[in-house]
């Protein structure tokens, strides 16, 4: 009897162990299946994400191409951009199709003007050039700037060649700039356009065309203030706003600046040059900014060409319909007088 009880107990234990082993094996199998399902689901999700990203990239590329057809000018034979050209597969991210440049933050030297530089307003004076000679005012002031070690230019006093530097101030658009650009392109004349932030924001296609056709886009400040009446920190912010707009929206940078209305101070001149800008004044100009007092293309032609001289920096305003109408004749007449047009980058070379 005792032996029978032992046998039954051993048999029961064996059955329990077998059942436990079977259950354990089932648990292991189910765990493996669950992990396999999770792995498969994750792989499927990653694949779907990759496909979605690829589709988005293709859509953005197509949209960029459409935007370029609408907003960007046609390629020209003018000077090549200074930035590396993009390949056909790269999305255009700016109005010029170049990659955007990183934004900058200007460091203000001597923000409180502890050196006591004069903050008195100076109005740029240049005189009226005659007989193909710069006026004595321009000659004297340029010599003073050079003696003081300034970068600022009024005209090219280092050459006697009959060279001209054509510049435009652009505070707003009056419907003439596209025609001016057409003439410059057709006659292969380089120019510099000094633009306010307002003009850049309002006319990005024109700005892009200026850049793409090899012209210089210069800094003419954000809000067009009197630089003799604002702090050095404010001056820096005025220039920084324009610089960053050109960098982020056009992939472009420029180191040329023109004071609004030609008004400045010794402190302002120092601050602008400390930011590595070249202040560009002028030695030839006329009252062409008043669109309510136009005098016709002939008047513009005679006035501009009568004030030419070797090394002249010519200031014109793109808002003037007279300048636009006379532009081709101005260029042709200047060339007939033996003059050639050069970009500001060659001034003094």
Please list the active-site residues.
169, 317
Strands 340-341 and 163-170: parallel
Q: Which residue has the tokens 């792989």?
A: 43
Question: What are φ and ψ of residue 170, in 5° steps?
Answer: -130, 95
Reading the block at residue 260, the tokens are: 């609004």
CA neighbours closer than 13 Å in the CB half-sphere of residue 336: 8
Q: Are 284 and 129 in contact (CB under 8 A)?
A: yes
Residue partners of 96: CB distance under 8 A and separation at least 6: 72, 81, 208, 211, 212, 250, 251, 252
| CA–CA dist 275, 277 (Å, integer) | 6
Q: Please name the helix (run of DSSP H) or strand (run of DSSP E) that holds residue 312, with its range, or none.
A: strand 312-317
């Amino acid at each position: 009897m005792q032996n029978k009880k032992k046998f039954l107990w051993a048999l029961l234990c064996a059955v329990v162990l077998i059942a436990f082993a079977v259950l354990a094996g089932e648990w292991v199998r189910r765990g493996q299946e669950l992990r396999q399902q999770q792995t498969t689901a994750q792989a499927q999700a990653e694949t779907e994400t990759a496909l979605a990203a690829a589709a988005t990239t293709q859509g953005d590329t197509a949209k960029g191409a459409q935007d370029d057809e609408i907003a960007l000018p046609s390629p020209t034979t003018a000077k090549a951009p200074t930035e590396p050209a993009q390949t056909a597969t790269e999305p255009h991210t700016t109005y010029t199709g170049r990659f955007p440049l990183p934004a900058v933050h200007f460091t203000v030297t001597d923000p409180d003007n502890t050196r006591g530089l004069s903050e008195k307003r100076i109005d740029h004076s240049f005189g009226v050039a005659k007989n193909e000679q710069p006026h004595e005012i321009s000659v004297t002031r340029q010599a003073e700037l050079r003696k003081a070690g300034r970068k600022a230019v009024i005209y090219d006093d280092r050459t006697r060649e009959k060279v001209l530097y054509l510049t435009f101030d652009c505070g707003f658009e009056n419907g003439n700039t596209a025609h001016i650009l057409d003439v410059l392109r057709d006659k292969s004349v380089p120019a510099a356009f000094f633009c306010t932030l307002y003009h850049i924001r309002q006319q990005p296609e024109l700005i892009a065309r200026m850049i793409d056709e090899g012209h210089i886009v210069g800094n003419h400040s954000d809000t067009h203030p009197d630089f003799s009446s604002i702090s050095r920190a404010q001056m820096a912010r005025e220039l920084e706003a324009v610089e960053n707009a050109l960098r982020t929206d056009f992939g472009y940078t420029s180191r040329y600046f023109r004071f609004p209305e030609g008004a400045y101070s010794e402190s302002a001149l120092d601050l602008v040059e400390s930011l590595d800008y070249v202040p560009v004044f002028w030695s030839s100009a006329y009252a062409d900014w008043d669109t309510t007092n136009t005098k016709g293309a002939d008047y513009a032609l005679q006035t501009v060409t009568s004030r030419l001289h070797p090394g002249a920096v010519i200031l014109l305003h793109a808002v003037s319909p007279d300048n636009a109408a006379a532009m081709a004749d101005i260029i042709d007449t200047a060339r007939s007088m033996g003059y050639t047009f050069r970009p500001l980058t060659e001034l003094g070379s």
